Amino acid sequence: MGIYDVHAHLNDNLYLDLDISSTDIVRGAVEANVDLINNVGFDIKSSKIAVIQAEKHANIYAIVGIHPNDVHLFANEAYEQLDILANANKVVAIGEIGLDYSRTDRYIEVQKEALKMQIKIAQSHNLPIMAHIKDVGQSEQAFNDALEIFESFKCKEVVVHDFNGTKEQIDRLVELGYYISINGEVTRNKELAKVIKYIPIKNLMVESDAPYKAPKPYDKVVNYPKFLPLTTRILAQLKNMNEEELIAATRKNATSFFGINK
């Protein structure tokens, strides 16, 4: 059984600019043993494209939502559209949603309200959450604020994508029963590599975050899901596991979490 890439952006404009189709990306992924992919929206337009691309490919699923860095650009009507999109057949989660304080502190309260609105949509459709949480430097304000909101809504099904935090944060997420998704950053970030051992295999997922976060040796180039085996190889080494066992375990975690029978 192949790798489940739980977070990629086949809908990203970068691929469009390069004249690379979702068909090309999916073909390359399958040839590399990445046979399931979540196509993640970051605003209304990209979420609609994610749904269309998921319908086009049997092994692609859609996640719809508005990224925290973009929520200040959208009025309440956008959340009505998101609520409609959540009904699409192959939508498996709401995301990527969360809090990102890394660019500016100007929209913190807007981000919090947007997160709450999107959590309500997820819960009304019985869908899990794909979370984006990013702080400034060593601050943990966004992390703490996001978890406070998730706990206030009694969220039980959350995966934190692009995790790049501490052992203490891992412990908090595991205590809540949340999942942690790791991408190519682990192939170059020594501090992240050190804490991987603290993530129980039952709480681990893997992602490409394509077209971003390419693993070594593809630094500073466009990323693709087909590069994900480079990440699973390093993760298996860090976890002292057989790579096939890691792939099987993370796939089982993801298919169960997203409700996919494959």
**Tokens of residue 15, six digits:** 């691929």
Binding residues for a divalent metal cation: 7, 9, 96, 132, 161, 209
- Cα–Cα distances in Å, from 162 out to 125, 180, 196, 205, 207? 25, 8, 13, 10, 8
Binding residues: 7, 9, 96, 132, 161, 209
Round to whole Å and give the CA distance between 91 and 94: 8
Strand-pairing partners, residue 148, are none
Strand-pairing partners, residue 42, are none
Round to whole Å and give the CA distance between 59 and 29: 10
Q: Hey, CA dihedral for 186, 2, 94, 55, is it positive or negative?
A: positive
Q: b/e for 52-89, b at 16 or more Cβ within 10 A?
A: ebbeebebbbbbbbbbbbbbeebeeebbebbbebbebe
Instruction: Identify residue 64 by its one-letter amino acid code.
Output: V
Round to whole Å and give the CA distance between 107 and 97: 14
